[in-house]
Amino acid sequence: MKFSPFIWTALPVALSVGCVCNHRYYSYATPGIVIEPTSYSTAARVYPKSTSTRIAITPGETDGLRIANSIANILASSHLYRNVDVSIVKGIVSLRGTVPREQDSQRLYDEITAVPGVTLVENQLGLTNLSM
C-alpha cells in the first residue's frame, strides 16, 4: 500500500516523458514546384497561369457583352495586350495595365474607340519597364 502513492505519481510522469521523447520531427518534402520568372526585377511576384485578359462588365447589360466580345477579339489579336485589363460600364471602357510601347497604347485606344457602342475610352495604360 505504500507503493500506491508512488505509482500514482511516477507513472503519469514517466508516460508523459516517454510520449514527448518518442515524437520525431518528420519533414514533409514538397514536390518539385518550379516557379517561372515573369520579369528580370528582383521583386518576388507570382502571377496566375491564365494569360487570358480579364474583362469586367456591369451585370444586365447586353450592349456591354457585345462590346466585351469585340474588345476580347481585339486583345486576342496581339500578344502585346496580354497585360491589359478592361472594364466596361454603360459604354465607357477603362483600360488598365501595361503595353511595350506608346504606339501600342495608341493603336489599342484607336481600335477600341471604333467599336460600336463605345462612348468613351479611359486609357490608363502604362509602359512595360524593359530595363534589365
Structural domain includes residue 122: yes
Higher pLDDT, 6 or 107: 107
pLDDT of residue 120: 93
pLDDT at 96: 92
Asked if the structure places residue 121 within a domain, the reply is yes
CB under 8 Å to 58, separation ≥6 — which residues? 64, 88, 89, 90
Q: What pLDDT score does 89 carry?
A: 86
CATH, residue 80: 3.30.1340.30
pTM score, whole prediction: 0.54
Q: Total domain count for the chain? A: 1
Domain span holding position 115: 55-127
Q: Is residue 43 in some structural domain?
A: no
Over residues 54-86, the pLDDT tens digits come to 666 556 565 778 888 888 889 888 888 888 999
Structural domain contains residue 81: yes
Q: Which residues contact 122 (CB under 8 A, 6 or more apart)?
A: 92, 93, 94, 95
